[in-house]
Structure 1
Amino acid sequence: MTTIKTKDGTNIFFKDWGPKDGQPIVFSHGWPLTADAWDAQMVFFAGKGFRTIAHDRRSHGRSDQVWDNNTMDQYADDLAELIEQLNLNDVILVGHSTGGGEVTRYIGRHGTARVAKVALIGAVPPLMLKTEANPGGLPIDVFDGIRKGTFDNRAQFFKDLTIPFYGYNRDGAVVSEAVRDDFVRQGLMGGLKGELDSIRAFSESDFNDDLKKFDKPTLVLHGDDDQIVPIDASAHSTVKIVKHAVLKVYEGADHGLTVTHQDRFNADLLDFING
């Protein structure tokens, strides 16, 4: 397997497809998935001449399952080490859901010297948790429920989660049992401890200060029927902070729109990159 070793000794698995001299696109996946979630995008963009890279977050997929350091700061540092060890420049960062938080924290901690553009897809920033300062967020009970479901019966919880994740509970939705099974497959590749830690990382991390450091062209793309990361407390808030961010809303679209709206999403991301 292709891996890098981070400063704390963790092996991070990654895929590196397409021409090595192409402009790099680095994809960061959502919870509890893996780099495999980006396969269709990687093939599409590699076919357009881009170098496409996606990694398994620590404690997810084929990366090492670690007991400690499953935090948003460490995720961002791992992303930085991947970019630096591969000596990538003029990078297009694309993050979905938790991956959007990872990308945002990367910019907050490491800046944009190696970055050309940023795309946040159904992303968790600025803050998912409901607080006095963030009344539009989700109450802690929601995330406690995710923790309990993951701990009690991870396989069943992941299978059930696919229904709202892909909007399969909406009228007219075409349900793919294969997509549901693949979500569970990817989720079960990760370590339970790391996935539990990651719930806190994606729900309680405050990205407001990180977003203020964005100084590159930024696409914020979200479905307005996202049942996992509601649009009002995420995308609509992010574009108020990031100067010159472009907001693209998919009417009626779900959280897993990179799958359910795959061709449209690929085309829109390509337009943003080329624009």
Structure 2
Amino acid sequence: MTSNLTLVGRAGHRIAADAEGPATGMPVILAHGGGQTRRAWKKISTLLAGHGFRAIAIDLRGHGDSDWASDGAYDVADFASDLVAIAGKLDRKPALIGASLGGLAGLVAEGQLSPGSFASLTLVDITPQMEATGVARVVGFMAAHAREGFASPDEAARIISEYLPHRPSRKASAGLAHYLRQKPDGRYYWHWDPAFIDGVMRRHAQNGDLGDHGRSELNTAAMNLSLPVHLVRGGSSDLVSPEAVAHFRNLVPHAAYSDIADATHMVVGDQNDVFGAAIAGFLMQTHAMSDAK
């Protein structure tokens, strides 16, 4: 059974979360990518709960049902500090699974801000070295309709289909409603603070990557990782190349690695079952089974 939680970020922001699995299970924080919500982890949370883990899927600040940052604080370090604050309030050290922006935040949280905050770190299609074309595509999609919104959910569904041409085209589903909010003008807008994408666009113009941290800083954070690490790449990702994987594994020689065939940067949505099996296997192998049963 899924329960709703309200957690608190570093600056007092209310962080919305869903928890699934036994209260006594080892906690696993699930941090989504930029522009998404905690709903992205729905099937994965159920899978992990079935293995005895306490899956805690959060909405990052400025996303979904979490508070917006009135001061526009949406740097990677801000998201990272929220993860550290949340982890510190749990009854035991959690594992962290972060996709894209959530993974960058996890890397900075554990490798720079507060080493030792997490029991393990899984990075989903994100490394310090990112392909410029892939980054530009992700940023372009998020920015394209951030301000003007959509006339209808079906229009939003069409835009998503154009962004993900490898998936079957479909009309707006009930699930899409969780990613949109309707304003008094009757139009539908992404379920996140427009100031978030403004910051992403500004930083992308400055350094070409997704966040405020440059590659040298991210490389240093990666080299500082001493906890168990799992890198998961989408086999067809245009953001993380095989060369970027080799670079990361040189920085973090002890890291486990999974390559998910027929998945793009959107690994979780593209190959949910295969991805789920990979992360569940890593968590069960890494952490004491007495904590996960």
TM-score higher than 0.5: yes
CA–CA distance in 2 between the matches of 1:256 and 1:7?
A: 28
CA–CA distance in 2 between the matches of 1:14 and 1:224?
A: 30
Query: Do structure 1's residue 253 and structure 2's residue 263 form an aligned pair?
Result: yes
For the aligned residues, what is the CA RMSD? Answer: 3.0
Consecutive unaligned residues in structure 2, runs of 5 or more: 182-188, 205-209, 286-293
| One-letter identity of the residue aligned with 2:180 | R
CA–CA distance in 2 between the matches of 1:270 and 1:56?
A: 21
**Equivalent of residue 254 in structure 2, options 241, 244, 253:** 244
Q: 1:77 to 1:204 in 2, by over 3 A?
A: closer
**Equivalent of residue 176 in structure 2, options 181, 197, 205:** 181
| Residue aligned with 1:54, SS | strand
CA–CA distance in 2 between the matches of 1:198 and 1:30?
A: 13
Q: Percent identity?
A: 20
Query: Do structure 1's residue 149 and structure 2's residue 144 form an aligned pair?
Result: yes
- Residues 146-155 or 20-29, more deviating: 146-155
* TM-score, with length taken from structure 2: 0.77
CA contact (8 A) 1:150 1:158 kept: no
How do 1:183-198 residues align onto structure 2 when only pairs under 5 Å count? 184-185=179-180, 188-198=190-200
| Residue aligned with 2:190, SS | helix
Structure 1 equivalent of residue 186 of structure 2: none
CA contact (8 A) 2:262 2:270 kept: no
> Residues 200-226 of structure 1, C-alpha deviation per residue, up to 9 Å, x if partnerless?
383443311111111122111111212
CA contact (8 A) 1:31 1:98 kept: yes
How do 1:42-81 residues align onto structure 2 when only pairs under 5 Å count? 42-67=45-70, 68-81=72-85
How do 1:108-123 residues align onto structure 2 when only pairs under 5 Å count? 108-123=111-126
| One-letter identity of the residue aligned with 1:108 | G
- Residues 151-160 or 25-34, more deviating: 151-160
* TM-score, with length taken from structure 1: 0.81
Q: Offset at 1:7?
A: 4.4
Q: 1:151 to 1:265 in 2, by over 3 A?
A: closer
| Residue aligned with 2:119, SS | strand
CA contact (8 A) 1:214 1:243 kept: no
Q: Offset at 1:110?
A: 3.8
Q: Offset at 1:158?
A: 6.2
Q: Offset at 1:243?
A: 2.0
CA–CA distance in 1 between the matches of 2:176 and 2:272?
A: 18
Query: Do structure 1's residue 209 and structure 2's residue 220 form an aligned pair?
Result: yes
Consecutive unaligned residues in structure 1, runs of 5 or more: 129-135
**Equivalent of residue 20 in structure 2, options 6, 17, 20:** 17
Structure 2 equivalent of residue 231 of structure 1: 241
Q: Offset at 1:268?
A: 1.3
Q: Offset at 1:183?
A: 7.5
| Residue aligned with 2:17, SS | strand
| Residue aligned with 2:231, SS | strand
**Equivalent of residue 39 in structure 1, options 39, 42, 45:** 42
**Equivalent of residue 162 in structure 1, options 156, 160, 163:** 160
CA–CA distance in 2 between the matches of 1:112 and 1:145?
A: 33
Q: Offset at 1:181?
A: 3.4
Q: 1:259 to 1:144 in 2, by over 3 A?
A: closer
Query: Do structure 1's residue 29 and structure 2's residue 25 form an aligned pair?
Result: no
Q: Offset at 1:74?
A: 1.0
- Residues 154-163 or 18-27, more deviating: 154-163
CA–CA distance in 2 between the matches of 1:22 and 1:180?
A: 28
Q: How many residues align?
A: 261
CA–CA distance in 1 between the matches of 2:175 and 2:41?
A: 15
| Residue aligned with 2:116, SS | coil
| One-letter identity of the residue aligned with 1:188 | W
Q: 1:127 to 1:196 in 2, by over 3 A?
A: farther
| Residue aligned with 2:30, SS | strand
CA–CA distance in 1 between the matches of 2:261 and 2:8?
A: 41
Q: Offset at 1:236?
A: 3.8
Q: 1:120 to 1:258 in 2, by over 3 A?
A: same
